[in-house]
């Protein structure tokens, strides 16, 4: 069973979202997602200054199996992208919830966080969708 | 590697004199364009070249040596007679700039090929020039764009693609300056019509579909889809990747398609893999005909002629220097002439029979088939998800283990919608014995997955190379060989 930490929210597209102390939100993909994708070879981050709307395909993740879009789980302006992934995309595989974070966003509507699943709901979602 | 690269066989001064150019090099070259260094070429004997490339060819998996059920690729046998006739000296020694009256035979073949392709698709006009499937797709979407532009509707820039579509479809839309809009597939494998209705509108340029789809099933609502898209002002693009399933049985034109591309290297049995060369012929109906790429072969009285920009001012232009991959077009021409209309119907009948036989045999052996309640087209999907969960042996492990058993692996991890999948396409050219042997191999691998998974994880053991580090290959891409003492550095 893949790991689902209790300190953040989750989307149905297998992204996690964590509200930070400074009001920014950090976004990444879940342990389940990195496992399903296989070893990552490339992460294409959004351009500096990008504004993301919830549901936008904003990041492209390429693994040995496939290239997949990551959809913005909430809306906001890009504050920071994890530059370390340019040289070490495998950080997402090794540490999907810590060192392998993707972007930080300044949320335009923090209430969108409430629409996401908590850890229990996401674990349930995983159990149901894998049959 | 069991075979060195050819530069490692090189020794200074060694040469194959029998193949040296007979005429002296051109003397009237401007001095500034003359090179000062010798080109970096291997210095080897003729026998070394023959042995090297013969050995390399023997290391390969190929249709000539192995069953090759690579789903979505239609790896059927390429009859030798097609090669033989396409290589007649009258064809291969014809200069592409020769006067048309000196190449009437070749032009007649191309003209008849255009006509035969019209007959098997129902389209009203054909252009043979695209050099490969990707270029055919490019031509198709470029024509859709040109059509909307010509009608003053340049805001139509959205191309709808189902999530099961070939990855090339959204890529083509993007290359042509359009935006790809993805729609989901319903649980039964057909396009989600409600989702389609939600996305069509004044920005819709068209929709790209494969039918049968990449999921190996026939899209049953195709006429409704055509209706929805046409009413919204968009056009229908048929990706001919899976034409083998319906050849001679159903016409893309009858389904409502406005433009199609055909991979002659799939359905019409010209060589492919290893670079082909391919051929991505395009066909259109009346409304897109003015935009076809040139040249097209036309007829002027008794003479066959090239139709060029002068005859077709609205053409999207040229995609190849002359007539596409002419040798490949000739092979497809011979193939179609050999089979005739009846033979082409039998192609799709046996392609679907083989796929359904193989699907049933695998189901009976306990494998999980996706869309099991539906009949397979010319290909079908096996999901190994439950075996992977129970044993840790993945679809990729099965693929590698098949290589040791004398079978090229099916397509793995595509379509992306189905986890741990194999996409299997046997084609019409395989015997029942071969299909039975393939089932036996998959059963044996599954047994070993439970009893001794280590042996499967170690596969392949009999190939020239074992498991390659595909992650490192992408992360540290290195595809250009250089000598240790490279003089050009």
Task: Locate the domains of chain B by residue range.
Answer: 6-59, 82-339, 346-474
Q: Cβ distance B280 to B320 under 8 Å?
A: no
Determine the pLDDT at residue A130: 63
Determine the pLDDT at residue B489: 52
* Residue A12 within a domain: no
- Residue A28's contacts (CB-CB under 8 Å, 6 or more residues apart) are A15, A16, A92, A96, A97, A100, A101, A102
HSE at residue B127, side-chain half, CA atoms within 13 A, is 36
Domain that holds residue A53: 24-129
Lowest mean pLDDT among A102-111, B224-233, B411-420: B411-420
* Residue A10 within a domain: no
Residue A1: pLDDT band with limits 50, 70, 90:
low
Contacts of A36 in chain B (CB under 8 A): 419
- Kindly report the average pLDDT of chain B as a whole number: 93
Count each helix (H run) and each strand (E run) in chain A, helices first: 4, 9
C-alpha B276/C-alpha B136 separation (Å) is 15
Tokens of B118: 């019209």
What percentage of chain B has pLDDT greater than the value 70? Answer: 98
Determine the pLDDT at residue B417: 78
Residue B146: pLDDT band with limits 50, 70, 90:
very high
**Residues A64, B474: C-beta atoms closer than 8 Å:** yes
CA-CA distances (angstroms) from residue B201 to B206, B229, B451, B461?
Answer: 10, 9, 56, 55
C-alpha A119/C-alpha A46 separation (Å) is 27
Q: How far is B281 from chain A (nearest CA, A)?
A: 28
CATH architecture, range B346-474: Alpha-Beta Complex (3.90)
Determine the pLDDT at residue B220: 94
**Least CB–CB distance from B475: residue in A36, A41, A66:** A41
For the stretch B252-297, pLDDT in tens is 999 999 999 999 999 998 988 666 788 999 999 999 999 999 999 9
The enclosing H or E element of A43 equals strand A40-44
Domain B82-339 and domain B346-474 have a common topology? no
Q: CATH code for B82-339? A: 3.40.640.10
| DSSP assignments along B177-246, one per residue | T-EEEEEPBPTTSSB-HHHHHHH-STTEEEEEE-SS-TTSS--TTHHHHHHHHHHTT-EEEEEGGGGGGT
**Residues A64, B416: C-beta atoms closer than 8 Å:** no
* Residue A67 within a domain: yes
Using DSSP's 3-state secondary structure scheme, residue A94 falls into helix
Contacts of A39 in chain B (CB under 8 A): 471
Determine the pLDDT at residue B273: 66
Q: What is the dihedral of CA B390, B394, B398, B399, to 10 degrees?
A: 170
Lowest mean pLDDT among A55-69, B118-132, B179-193: A55-69
State the average pLDDT over residues B160-167: 89
For the stretch B19-71, pLDDT in tens is 777 777 777 888 888 888 888 889 999 999 999 999 998 888 888 899 999 99
Select from B478, B482, B367, B474 the least CA-distant residue to B421.
Answer: B367
State the average pLDDT over residues B477-483: 79
**Least CB–CB distance from B471: residue in A36, A64, A66:** A64
Give the CATH number for residue A90: 2.40.50.100
Contact A127/B at CB under 8 A: no
The enclosing H or E element of B471 equals helix B470-475
| ipTM reported for the complex, 2 dp | 0.71
| DSSP assignments along B315-378, one per residue | ---BSSSSSSSHHHHHHHHHHHHHHHHHHHHHHHHHHHHHHHHHHHHHHHTTPEETTTTS---S
Q: How far is B419 from chain A (nearest CA, A)?
A: 8
Contact A66/B at CB under 8 A: yes
* Residue A75 within a domain: yes
Whether the bond into A93 is cis, omega within 30 of 0: no
């Amino acid at each position: 069973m893949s790991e689902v930490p209790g300190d953040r929210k989750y989307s149905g597209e297998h992204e996690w979202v964590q509200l930070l102390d400074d009001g920014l939100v950090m976004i990444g993909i879940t342990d389940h997602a990195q496992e399903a994708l296989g070893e990552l070879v490339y992460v294409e981050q959004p351009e500096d200054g990008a504004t993301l709307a919830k549901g936008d395909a904003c990041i492209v993740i390429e693994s040995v199996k496939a290239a997949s879009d990551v959809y913005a789980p909430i809306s906001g302006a890009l504050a920071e992208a994890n530059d370390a992934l340019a040289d070490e995309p495998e950080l997402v595989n090794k540490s999907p919830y810590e060192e392998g974070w993707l972007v930080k966003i300044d949320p335009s509507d923090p209430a969108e966080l409430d629409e996401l699943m908590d850890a229990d709901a996401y674990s349930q979602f995983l159990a149901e969708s894998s049959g | 590697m069991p075979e060195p690269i050819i530069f490692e066989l090189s020794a200074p001064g060694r040469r194959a004199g029998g193949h040296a150019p007979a005429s002296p090099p051109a003397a009237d070259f401007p001095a500034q364009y003359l090179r000062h260094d010798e080109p970096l070429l291997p210095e080897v004997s003729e026998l070394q070249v023959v042995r090297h490339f013969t050995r390399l060819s023997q290391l390969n998996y190929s249709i000539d040596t192995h069953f090759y059920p690579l789903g979505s690729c239609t790896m059927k046998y390429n009859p030798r007679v097609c090669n033989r006739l396409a290589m007649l000296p009258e064809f291969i020694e014809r200069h592409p700039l020769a006067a048309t009256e000196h190449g009437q035979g070749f032009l007649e073949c191309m003209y008849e090929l255009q006509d035969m392709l019209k007959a098997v698709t129902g389209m009203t006009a054909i252009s043979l020039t695209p050099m490969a499937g990707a270029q055919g797709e490019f031509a198709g979407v470029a024509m859709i764009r040109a059509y909307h532009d010509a009608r003053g509707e340049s805001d139509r820039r959205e191309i709808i693609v189902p999530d099961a579509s070939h990855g090339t479809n959204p890529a083509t839309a993007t290359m042509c300056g359009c935006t790809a809009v993805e729609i989901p597939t319903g649980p039964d494998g057909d396009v989600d019509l409600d989702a389609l209705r939600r996305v069509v509108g004044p920005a819709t340029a068209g929709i790209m579909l494969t039918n049968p789809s990449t999921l190996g099933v026939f899209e049953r609502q195709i006429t409704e889809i055509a209706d929805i898209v046409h009413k919204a002002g968009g056009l229908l693009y048929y990706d001919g990747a899976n034409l083998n399933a319906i050849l001679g049985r159903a016409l893309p034109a009858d389904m409502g398609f406005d433009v199609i591309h055909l991979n002659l290297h799939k359905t019409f049995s010209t060589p492919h893999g290893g670079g082909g060369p391919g051929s991505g012929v395009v066909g259109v109906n009346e409304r897109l005909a003015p935009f076809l790429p040139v040249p097209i072969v036309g007829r002027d009285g008794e003479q066959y002629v090239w139709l060029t920009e002068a005859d077709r001012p609205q053409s999207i232009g040229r995609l190849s220097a002359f007539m596409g991959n002419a040798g490949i077009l000739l092979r497809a021409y011979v193939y179609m002439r050999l089979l005739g209309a009846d033979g082409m119907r039998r192609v799709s009948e046996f392609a679907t029979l083989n796929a359904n036989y193989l699907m049933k045999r695998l189901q009976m052996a306990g494998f999980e088939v996706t869309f099991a309640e539906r009949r397979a087209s010319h290909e079908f999907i096996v999901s190994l998800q439950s075996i992977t969960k129970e044993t840790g042996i993945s679809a990729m492990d099965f693929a590698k283990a098949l290589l040791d058993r004398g079978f090229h692996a099916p397509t793995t991890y595509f379509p992306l919608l189905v986890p741990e999948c194999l996409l299997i396409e046997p084609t019409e050219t395989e015997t029942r014995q071969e299909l039975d042997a393939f089932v036996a191999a998959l059963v044996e691998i599954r047994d070993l997955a439970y009893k001794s998974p280590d042996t499967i994880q170690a596969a392949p053991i009999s190939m020239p190379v074992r498991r390659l580090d595909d992650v490192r290959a992408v992360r540290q891409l290195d595809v250009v060989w250089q000598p240790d003492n490279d003089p050009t550095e």
